């Protein structure tokens, strides 16, 4: 049985609809660490429509108290996407010119750790023309170059 491909149009539509508000199906983590990776996960789910309920290394959200660390944690999402061999989305680290709508960019502001996840809503050749959507700093269509960051990494989402 083959699965549907990652639907980048649905990711874009979800990001556009919810960038400046909150979907009531999901808890808003803004006051307890930030909502950026929760929003990124919601967008990814809109494109793949499949969670991974593995209790140890999965990617899922049932409610605010029953979710995987990868649903809301920047580093955990990265590790899940890069290493996932089971249900749900996977990802490969790549360069910014290889990204497409629905892919993820993560930012490192302090030189120590990555702490912000963004969804690509317009792909470009570089950080000057790649546009993103995110929560915590609610935005839709902001250029990556307009952020003040130390390092960034790019994750191309795949759906097996």
- Can you give the pLDDT at residue 24? 97
> How far is C-alpha 133 from the geometric centre of its chain's CA atoms?
9
Share the mean pLDDT of the chain.
Answer: 94
Per-residue pLDDT band at 104 (split at 50, 70, 90): very high
Pairwise pLDDT comparison (42 vs 160), residue with the higher score: 42
Q: Which has the closest alpha carbon to 123: 149, 94, 148? A: 94
- Can you give the pLDDT at residue 1? 32
pLDDT digits (tens, 9 = 90+) for 52-90: 999 889 999 999 999 999 999 999 999 999 999 999 999
């Amino acid at each position: 049985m083959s699965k549907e491909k990652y639907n980048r149009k649905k990711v874009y539509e979800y990001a556009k609809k919810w960038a400046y508000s909150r979907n009531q199906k999901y808890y808003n983590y803004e006051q307890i660490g930030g909502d950026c990776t929760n929003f990124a996960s919601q967008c990814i789910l809109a494109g793949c429509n499949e969670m991974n309920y593995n209790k140890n290394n999965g990617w899922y959200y049932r409610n605010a108290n029953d979710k995987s660390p990868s649903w809301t944690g920047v580093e955990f999402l990265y590790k899940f996407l890069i290493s996932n061999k089971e249900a749900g989305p996977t990802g490969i680290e790549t360069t910014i010119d290889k990204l497409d709508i629905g892919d993820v960019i993560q930012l490192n502001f302090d030189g120590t750790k990555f702490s912000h996840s963004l969804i690509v809503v317009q792909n470009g050749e570089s950080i000057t023309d790649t546009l993103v959507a995110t929560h915590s700093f609610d935005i839709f269509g902001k250029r990556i170059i307009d952020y003040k960051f130390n390092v960034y990494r790019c994750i191309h989402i795949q759906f097996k």
